[in-house]
Amino acid sequence: MTDLMSKIISLCKRRGFIFQSSEIYGGVEALWDYGPLGSLLKNNIKEEWLKRFVQKRDDIVLIDGSVLMHPDVWKASGHLEHFTDPLVECKNCHSRYRADYMADGRFVGQGKAKLKNQCPQCGGRDFTLPRQFNLMFKTFLGPVEDEAHQTYLRPETAQSMFANFSQIQESMRLKIPFGIAQIGRSFRNEITTGNFTFRSREFDIAEIEYFVKPGLDEKWFDFWVSEWEKFFLDLGLKKENLRRYEHPKKALSHYSKKTIDIEYKFPFGWSELAGIANRTDFDLKQHSKFSGRDLTYFEEDSGKKYFPYVIEPTLGIERLLLALLVDAYTEVKGGRAKRASFLLPPSLSLGRTKTTKAVKEIEILLKLDKKIAPIKVAVLPLVRNKPELVKKAREVYQLLKPYFFCQYDEPGSIGRRYRRGDEIGVLYALTIDFETLKNDDLTVRWRDTMKQERVKISDLVNFLKEKLNI
């Protein structure tokens, strides 16, 4: 694991962003719990997505489909047959691996597994031949556990958008081109896990099925590739950390005419963050065939019926969250706390020894965009042992809470508290000092520049709303 990844994982655990699931029982591989800050961050990402692709557009509607569906859905979609990875097993220790992930990521091909690879667990070189392993989690509907009642946890959210295509189109009186959007839990029983939250067995997908007239699909495909990229850039990802990867024809999914991944430069290498697929009319035709329902679209102008083509931009919310953390993670070599202390009245600045120590320390700054930072404002009384300051700070805290996610932080020096905020991406730190009691104003410090200004408490809500663009 890279140094940077270790630091991010440590920060996530230490500050309540992400914990391993069931850690007190030794943890479960590839399952993660989002803590108090992580869940807020995740929620903010989802809200930005909804705002941009549903609220601000008039051609996209939102649905919330069920995780479990009729088992025939997965026959029609091709997932029962095709949603598999090649699995090999070490004959010595029985560890299982994805055949295509071995031999430095090169596909080893049928029958060649035992020649090229070494078991990372025991060093053994003798593997079974690859067999196809379906990545869907099986479960049963109702109390009888037999094949007739068997279904699957959805591995993507797309299928409920196809199965409901006609109902949504008719009830909302939508005209092509239009899209159906969904954010939802999806499940994949991954063989190879790792890289922190990157390859999880349970995750949220945000995706749009955008239905277009056949023939215009390539134009819309290009449109969605660039819309998706813009979204990432607007959330603060650096341009140089994004790139496109087009799937070679022979490696395309069974439903796809063209697929482009948007990859992010994670510390463990360029990896898929999101994808845009041209699913053609595959899904609607398949569901028509398997369900016996006519899922064609009736075009009033021409009086013709046809199966629309589907462009599907999709992204993993947790992958995006991880990319945003990686991009935002900044280390500042010593001195932010020291510099901060110079802005305080001399009687309250940090002592000489502490200052010298602070210079040597590495300070962490999480430069999350203001739209997604989990905590927007920190309220800090200059000292905790002056009841009148504490009382005033509490009042300010209560004043702001209805508008912004705030945190109230009392213990430790003011410099240390600034750093605690910087580390989790708090945008504005407000310090209530003795001047506040006289003039009813306070110091507002902006995270990225440490620039400070005095603001009247009566103007504070509007000031912050404007700064945060809320």
d(CA 347, CA 237): 42
Give the binding range for Zn ion (CB under 5 A) out of 25-33, 83-91, 275-283, 442-450: 83-91
Nearest CB to Zn ion, comparing residues 119 and 322: 119
- Find the DSSP H helices in 35-82: 36-50, 71-76, 79-82
21 binds Zn ion (CB under 5 A): no
Is the Cβ–Cβ distance between 389 and 437 less than 8 Å? Answer: yes
Q: Which stretch binds Zn ion (CB under 5 A): 77-85, 124-132, 192-200, 312-320?
A: 124-132
Helix 3-14 and helix 317-328, axial crossing angle in degrees, nearest 10: 110
Whichever of 95 and 452 has its CB closer to Zn ion, that residue is: 95
Residues 214-252, buried b or exposed e (16+ Cβ, 10 A)? eeebeebbebbbebbbebbeebbbeeebbeeeeeeeeee
Binding to Zn ion by residue 102, rule CB under 5 A? no
d(CA 41, CA 49): 13
**How far from 205 is each of 178, 186, 225, CA to CA, in Å?**
20, 7, 17
Cβ proximity of 114 and 103 under 8 Å: no
Q: Which part of the chain contacts Zn ion (CB under 5 A), choosing from 113-121, 140-148, 290-298, 425-433?
A: 113-121
Question: In angstroms, what is the minimal distance from the CB of 131 to Zn ion?
Answer: 17
Given the rule CB under 5 A, which of 116-124, 242-250, 275-283, 400-408 is the region that contacts Zn ion? Answer: 116-124
- How near is the Cβ of 28 to Zn ion at its closest, in Å? 21
Which of 1, 122, 233, 437 is close enough to bind Zn ion by CB under 5 A? 122
Task: Kindly tell me which of 11 and 108 has the beta carbon lying closer to Zn ion.
Answer: 108
Roughly how many angstroms between the first and final C-alpha of the chain, as a whole number?
A: 39
Q: Could you tell me which stretch among 64-72, 114-122, 194-202, 394-402 binds Zn ion (CB under 5 A)?
A: 114-122
**Binds Zn ion by CB under 5 A, chosen from 92, 253, 291, 452:** 92
Pick 65 or 124: Cβ nearer Zn ion: 124
Total residues at the site for Zn ion (CB under 5 A)?
Answer: 8
| Contact pick of 45, 76, 90, 393 for Zn ion (by CB under 5 A) | 90
Minimum CB–partner distance for residue 265 and Zn ion (Å): 32
Figure out which of the listed residues 1, 28, 93, 144 binds Zn ion, where binding follows CB under 5 A.
Answer: 93
The alpha-carbon radius of gyration of the chain (Å, integer) is 26
Place of tokens 């299928």: 159
Nearest in space to 407 (alpha carbons), one of 381, 377, 369, 373: 377
Shortest CB 107 distance to Zn ion, Å? 20
Nearer to Zn ion, 122 or 348 (CB): 122
Does residue 118 touch Zn ion according to CB under 5 A? Answer: no
- 88: contact with Zn ion by CB under 5 A: no
Helix 317-328 vs helix 36-50: crossing angle, to nearest 10: 110
Residue 121, interface with Zn ion (CB under 5 A)? yes
Specify whether the CB–CB gap between 203 and 183 falls below 8 A. no
Least separation in angstroms between CB 238 and Zn ion = 40
Structural element, H or E, at residue 184: strand 178-187
Q: Which is nearer to Zn ion, 121 or 462 (CB)?
A: 121
Q: What CA dihedral angle connects 455, 338, 422 and 392, to 10 degrees?
A: -40
Q: Which segment (66-74, 117-125, 285-293, 428-436) binds Zn ion by CB under 5 A? A: 117-125
Characterize 21-45 residue by residue with b for buried, 16 or more Cβ atoms within 10 angstroms of its Cβ, and e for exposed.
beeeeeeeebebebbebbebbbebb
- Binder to Zn ion among 12, 76, 119, 242 (CB under 5 A)? 119
Helices 387-400 and 460-468: crossing angle in degrees, nearest 10, is 50
CA distance 450 to 447: 5
Alpha helix positions (H), 310-375: 317-328, 336-342, 352-360
| Stretch touching Zn ion by CB under 5 A, among 78-86, 121-129, 160-168, 173-181 | 121-129
Helix (H, G, I), strand (E, B) or coil at 78: coil
Cβ-based nearer residue to Zn ion, 83 or 127: 127
Write each residue from 191 to 230 as x if it is in contact with Zn ion (CB under 5 A), else as -, in one continuous string. ----------------------------------------
87 binds Zn ion per the rule CB under 5 A: no
Closest to Zn ion by CB, 82 vs 94, is: 94
Residue placing its CB nearer to Zn ion in the complex, 93 or 129: 93
Nearest distance from residue 127's CB to Zn ion, in Å?
9
Measured CA to CA, the distance from residue 262 to residue 466 in angstroms comes to: 33
Closest CB 122 distance from Zn ion, rounded Å: 3
Find all residues with CB under 8 Å of 31, minimum gap 6, and list them. Answer: 20, 21, 22, 200, 201, 202
> Is 41 within 8 Å of 318 (Cβ atoms)?
no
The least distance separating Zn ion from the CB of residue 115, rounded to whole angstroms, comes to: 16
Cβ distance to Zn ion smaller for residue 7 or 112:
112
Cα-based distances in Å from 13 to 225, 405, 411: 34, 20, 21
Residue among 128 and 296 whose Cβ is closer to Zn ion: 128
Indicate the residue among 124 and 267 with the shorter CB distance to Zn ion: 124
| Residue ranges that bind Zn ion, judged by CB under 5 A | 90, 92-93, 95, 119, 121-122, 124
